[in-house]
Homo-oligomer: A and B are copies of this chain.
Amino acid sequence: MLFKRNSRPYLGESGNYFRTCVLLAMGPAILAGRVALADPLPSWNEGSAKQAIVEFVRAVTDKSSPKYVPPEQRIATFDNDGTLWAEQPMYFQGFFAFDRVKTLAPQHPEWKERQPFKAILENDRKALLASGEKGAVEVLMASHAGMSTQEFERIVKDWLATAKHLRFNRPFTDLVYQPMLEVIAFLRTNGFKTFIVSGGGIEFVRTFSEERYGIPPEQVIGSSIVTKFEVRDGRPLLVREPKLDFIDDGPGKPVGIQKFIGRRPIAAFGNSDGDLQMLQWTAAGQGPRFMFLVRHTDAEREWTYDRQSPIGRLDKALDEAQRHGWTVVDMKRDWKQVFPFK
């Protein structure tokens, strides 16, 4: 209203210099207020999930509400795989690791006869699964270690720019969830600081988090391998070593949150049992809380999976959500649109 035609004379006619200054300073806030009047979550169908998000944000930002939370405590954490982007038929970072093994194979002729590499090179899913966790760690180290942090960033960015998800024939970073992009933006507009807390690799997620989610690298928490400072030919480097440093999954998520953020989130968003402890940790804080789970219920537009899925299993966390009344989003029912592309 303030910016409509009839408001201008008010500014001009006022002889009050101070009031003019205050109005000038308030301009952006008023503009932001107008933006908030539009639907902040247009890709969400009307329903209890959307309503819960909007009401929570309204309550914690309303200074007259008993639920008001000062801006510096408005910390929101988001799982990545299955919460902000898709994770089927396998975590996307897994595709990166496999492609990387194939790229490096000519330099490793011994891989032709050595599991789990042989299985990857021959697309032998069964042999790969048989190699178990030990095999997975070997693949991880072969594909993620042995280079500098800068080289790794370039390798991942090159891969993301060219690799495609088979089902959608699109870059993996196209498979982010439009409704969740809106939640992130809505929270940020309302003074929240948004963090990713991913079981995936911290440096992997950082290569696209700022561009895709508007979340800068310093607000990304994830699993990591050890890096070591070295000076080579007078040039300092951080070298990625083949050694696990931190697993940011399950009970590791609250540990990662405390380590990196140092305060407890008031809102946490996940989709699987790997997010349970993050949600418990968030729920156990004082004051208003918001715990949120995405349920994958849409085989047509995305995938349907929960209690039995080896990837993104949602079982115990679903029981706990139902017991405590956490917000469970039904993708099929609650999301008007799933991905940014149509």
* A228 / chain B contacts, CB cutoff of 8 Å: 251, 255
Tell me whether B280 and A251 are in contact (CB under 8 A): no
CB-contacts of A12-41 with B (<8 A): 12-13, 17, 20-21, 23-28, 30-31
- Given the known A-B contacts A259-B227, A262-B202, are A17 and B31 also in contact in the complex, defined by CB atoms under 8 Å? no
* A20 / chain B contacts, CB cutoff of 8 Å: 3, 8, 11
CB-contacts of A270-287 with B (<8 A): 277, 280-281, 284
Q: Mark A316-342, 1 if CB is under 8 A from B, else 0.
A: 000000000000000000000000000
A interface, size bucket? 35 or more
* A227 / chain B contacts, CB cutoff of 8 Å: 255, 258-259
Tell me whether A260 and B258 are in contact (CB under 8 A): no
Chain B: minimal CB distance from A13 (Å):
7
- Given the known A-B contacts A12-B9, A229-B281, A238-B254, are A261 and B217 also in contact in the complex, defined by CB atoms under 8 Å? yes
Give Cα A23–Cα B202 distance, bound, in whole angstroms. 41
* Cβ-based interface call for A299 (8 A): no
Q: Which among B5, B21, B202 is the interface contact of A3 at CB below 8 angstroms?
A: B21
Give Cα A217–Cα B259 distance, bound, in whole angstroms. 10
Tell me whether A258 and B238 are in contact (CB under 8 A): yes
A-B contact pairs, 18 of them (CB 8 A): A3-B20, A9-B12, A11-B12, A21-B31, A24-B26, A25-B27, A72-B216, A193-B218, A206-B262, A216-B262, A217-B263, A218-B260, A218-B262, A227-B259, A236-B254, A236-B277, A236-B281, A236-B284
- Beyond contacts A28-B28, A218-B219, A218-B260: 11 other A-B pairs, Cβ-Cβ < 8 A, are A3-B17, A5-B17, A9-B12, A24-B27, A25-B28, A27-B27, A235-B284, A236-B254, A236-B280, A236-B281, A238-B254
Interface residues of A (CB under 8 A from B): 3, 5, 8-9, 11-13, 17, 20-21, 23-28, 30-31, 72, 75, 149, 193, 202-203, 206, 210, 216-220, 224, 227-229, 231, 235-236, 238, 251-252, 254-255, 258-263, 277, 280-281, 284
